[in-house]
Amino acid sequence: GAVVSQHPSRVICKSGTSVKIECRSLDFQATTMFWYRQFPKKSLMLMATSNEGSKATYEQGVEKDKFLINHASLTLSTLTVTSAHPEDSSFYICSARESYRAENTEAFFGQGTRLTVV
């Protein structure tokens, strides 16, 4: 099946620094990618929808200047957590779907990135 690779799987950074997370579709072109965050024992919260070649669409309450998304190619989207603070510590997961506006296309998930800000 389709594979989505997310890197790094785990990162610890100091408060105030920025962290970049990469999401790659390895064997298909992903016109749409999604970024989620998940707190312990909670569900995945959609942060933003990333479309190749255009600006990301952020969900209500998500700061676009805080969480920068770049989807410059059909196989790569990046999420940069800028000026990270301890409350940004979370599990970040990306997912990718091959077809734009396809109704029954499943999304494939990256392995997730566990971010800890100290």
Partner 1 sequence: RKEVEQDPGPFNVPEGATVAFNCTYSNSASQSFFWYRQDCRKEPKLLMSVYSSGNEDGRFTAQLNRASQYISLLIRDSKLSDSATYLCVVTPRSSGTYKYIFGTGTRLKVLA
Binding footprint of partner 1 on the chain (CB under 8 A):
32, 34, 36, 42-46, 49, 51, 57, 91, 93, 95, 97, 100-112, 114
Q: Of 38, 12, 15, 22, give the one whose Cα is nearest residue 115.
A: 12
CB of 59 to partner 1, least distance (A): 9
Pick the closer one to partner 1 by CB: 25 or 95. Answer: 95
Closer Cβ to partner 1, 68 or 107, answer by number: 107
Closest separation in Å from C-beta 52 to partner 1: 12
Smallest CA-to-CA distance from 17 within 100, 111, 83 is with 83
Based on CB atoms, which residue is closest to partner 1, 14 or 101?
Answer: 101
Residue 18 DSSP label = -
Instruction: Give the integer Cα–Cα distance in Å for 49 and 30.
Output: 12
Q: Do 81 and 67 touch, CB atoms closer than 8 A? A: yes
